[in-house]
Amino acid sequence: MVLGGILPVAVRRRWPRRVFGVVLVLSTLSVLLGLLDAPFIAPAMAVYILALTERRPSWEPTLVVGLLSSLGLVAVMAVSPVQATLSVAGQLLLSIAVMGVTWTVGRAIRDRRAYLARSTDRAVTEERLRIARELHDVVAHSMGLIVVKAGVTNHLVDVQPAQARDALQVIENTGRDALTEMRHMLGVLRTGGSPIELAPAPQPDTLSELADRAAMAGVQVSMETHGLSRLPEGVGLSVYRIVQEALTNVVKHAAPAACQIVVDDNGKEVRIEVKDDGPGGSVLPRQAGHGLIGIRERVAMYDGTFEAGPRPGGGFRVYATLPYGETS
């Protein structure tokens, strides 16, 4: 009987509910036969595993306690002397207390594990979104410029060979820069091997390079920046990527055009405005919306504001704010 109450615990993780019932019945019989002085140890372990592994509704603790009470009363009634009855009643109360504690501990551990699993899934999802944004920003900007210059080269190769060669040089330089940045990014994602020397994240002090690249694609860029030297690194990277994506859209959908960029930092938030005089009244292709989604996600990380749409007088406008000061 004693072994029968203990051996089922060996398979408790495979059949937790069956083991709980078997152990409970055998432990109660051991009390009736006087075989165990402390029959609640094995049931307590079974209750712990049940709470840890099974998905049960909120009323199950009441059911468990009620079942234990019923079986315990049977054991109490089987003992005739009053003194013995009081002793068994004390054991019954102790058993219920132990069962309640083990159930609570098991449920707490289960809830903790579920919380950690959800946190891990959330972190993985956020990291995937971050990587997707970075990949899109690198690839879309470079490929947009390459496609535009390739189209220009196709038209100039016969009539103006010198300009065609210049366009090919732009394509080569842009592709090489994109490949270098992609290698750095993939180096971060590697799971093994020696650490890779990583370039610093792009910051607003290199926005002029974006303007130069856009100019190569036929976009006349004028840029105004104010007070960007004090930005935190994360905010600075977001500013760079937002301007990069906005310029990419200008190159892909408005070139040749004139574009005005204003980036202003007042110590509490950064205001970014990119507007052009291209065909803003036209509807952008649906596949062009991923970049704007990326901008919106970056702005949302800082609880900022984001606007994007055609300008009344023609052209397109992107406006974003990134709060980062003490009041953000």
> Is residue 102 pLDDT above 70, yes or no?
yes
> Using an 8 Å Cβ cutoff, are 250 and 274 in contact?
yes
State the chain's mean pLDDT as an integer.
73
Q: What is the pLDDT of residue 3?
A: 46
The pTM for the full model equals 0.54
Q: In the prediction, which pLDDT does 49 show?
A: 73
Q: Are 103 and 47 in contact (CB under 8 A)?
A: yes
Angle at which helices 82-156 and 161-189 cross, to 10°: 170
Residue 261 has pLDDT above 90, yes or no: yes
311-to-171, 218, 270 alpha-carbon distances in Å? 31, 21, 22
Decide the pairing of beta strands 316-323 and 305-310. antiparallel
Residue range 281-291: average pLDDT? Answer: 50
Q: Write the DSSP string, 169-235.
A: HHHHHHHHHHHHHHHHHHHHH--SSS---PPPPP-GGGHHHHHHHHHHTTEEEEEEEES-TT--HHH
Rounded Cα–Cα distance for residues 52 and 86 (Å): 33
pLDDT in tens, 138-182: 676 677 778 777 877 887 788 888 878 877 887 887 787 777 777
Instruction: Express as a percent the part of the chain with pLDDT over 70.
Output: 62
Residue 63 has pLDDT above 80, yes or no: no
Q: What are phi and psi of 81, to 5 degrees?
A: -65, 145
User: How large is the average pLDDT for residues 230-242?
Assistant: 87
What's the rounded mean pLDDT across residues 304-311?
92
Confidence grade of residue 112 (pLDDT, cut at 50, 70, 90): confident
Which CATH fold would you assign to the domain 203-328? Heat Shock Protein 90 (3.30.565)
pLDDT top residue among 52 and 77 = 52
Confidence of residue 77 (pLDDT cuts 50, 70, 90): very low
The reported pLDDT for the residue numbered 1 is 44
pLDDT at 82 over 50: no
Residue 327: both structure tokens together: 């009041």
pLDDT tens-place string over residues 195-206: 444 456 678 888
Which of 45, 46, 32, 116 lies closest to 75, judged by CA? Answer: 32
Res. 308: pLDDT tops 80:
yes
Is the pLDDT confidence value at 46 over 60?
yes
Residue 317 or residue 229, greater confidence: 317
Give the pLDDT band of residue 287 (cuts 50, 70, 90).
Answer: very low
End-to-end alpha carbon distance in the chain: 67
